[in-house]
């Protein structure tokens, strides 16, 4: 099982949309996919059409050791599985801060399902938190979503330092799978400049496919659907399908 964590320390970069769309795209190509929603906002859970019942275990119980990963998995209409989250996850950082071996909790929790899936996609919180570090420690690769603006680019420079630190101290197999430019408009010089700077910071890692801003991507989550379910013939679906192809090619090399 290849584990990819989608992350950015800044919100509003299309991280959750990208994690869900890539997971759905991989499923459409015949792969068995598990999405893990670590973001306490629960947007991936909602966008996947899942509403956790208070009695159902979520990723919160999994990280606390109160439930097995397999017991928290829900199957979505899109065909991929998800470990959902809810508001309880907002307290995980504080509650797990002093836990022994906390950085490895998620990696260990995924052991009992690793033979069931080809890919696990982690949607990390938009911050550098205890839970975010768990995701990086568990992952084989990182997909960094980068909105085409300078403030987001500054945040990515900090994230690069964090990834290097995790690789040295916790997870030597961690690699940057790719940098995905989102909300991209190739008519704007600023966007092209951001793309060039991203390539300088991550040589050979920027995905060739860029994700344009689109109404369909904003509407799909409110319908509880991924972009392939909501508008399969849209430009956005085509772009994410191409990103999936790039990810398959890159993960096949590792």
Residues 6+ apart with CB under 8 A from 115: 1
The first and second tokens of residue 213, run together, are 């801003």
User: What residue ranges do the domains of the chain occupy?
Assistant: 2-252
Q: What pLDDT, on a 0 to 100 scale, did the predictor assign at position 19?
A: 96
pLDDT in tens, the chain (254 residues): 999 999 987 778 889 999 999 999 999 999 999 999 999 888 899 999 998 877 889 999 999 999 999 999 999 999 999 999 987 777 777 777 777 789 999 999 999 999 999 999 999 988 778 889 999 999 999 999 998 777 777 777 788 889 999 999 999 999 999 999 999 998 888 889 889 989 988 999 999 999 999 999 999 988 889 999 999 999 999 999 999 999 999 998 66
CB 68 within 8 A of CB 62: yes
What is the pTM (predicted TM-score) of this model? 0.93
pLDDT in tens, 230-247: 999 999 999 999 999 999
Q: What pLDDT, on a 0 to 100 scale, did the predictor assign at position 92?
A: 76
Q: What pLDDT, on a 0 to 100 scale, did the predictor assign at position 95?
A: 79
The domain made up of 2-252 has a fold known as Rossmann fold (3.40.50)
What is the spatial order of strands in the sheet that 74-75 belongs to? Answer: 74-75, 81-83, 33-37, 119-123, 2-7, 141-147, 175-182
């Amino acid at each position: 099982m290849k584990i990819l964590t989608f992350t950015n320390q800044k919100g509003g970069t299309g991280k959750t949309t990208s994690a869900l769309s890539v997971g759905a795209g991989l499923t459409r190509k015949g792969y068995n996919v598990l999405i893990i929603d670590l973001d306490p906002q629960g947007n991936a859970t909602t966008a996947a059409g899942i509403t956790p019942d208070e009695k159902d275990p979520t990723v919160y119980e999994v990280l606390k050791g109160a439930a097995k990963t397999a017991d928290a998995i829900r199957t979505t209409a899109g065909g991929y599985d998800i470990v959902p989250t809810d508001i309880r996850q907002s307290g995980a950082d504080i509650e797990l801060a002093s836990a022994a071996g906390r950085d490895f909790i998620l990696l260990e929790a995924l052991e009992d399902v690793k033979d069931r899936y080809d890919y696990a996609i982690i949607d990390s919180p938009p911050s550098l938190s205890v839970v975010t570090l768990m995701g990086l420690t568990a992952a084989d690769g990182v997909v960094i979503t980068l909105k085409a603006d300078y403030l987001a680019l500054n945040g990515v420079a900090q994230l690069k330092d964090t990834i290097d630190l995790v690789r040295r101290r916790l997870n030597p197999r961690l690699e940057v799978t790719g940098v995905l430019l989102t909300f991209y408009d190739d008519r704007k010089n600023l966007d092209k400049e951001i793309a060039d700077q991203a390539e300088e910071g991550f040589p050979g890692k920027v995905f060739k496919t860029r994700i344009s801003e689109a109404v369909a991507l904003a509407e799909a989550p409110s319908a509880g659907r991924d972009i392939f379910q909501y508008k399969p013939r849209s430009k956005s679906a085509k772009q994410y399908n191409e990103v999936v192809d790039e990810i398959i090619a890159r993960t096949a090399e590792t």
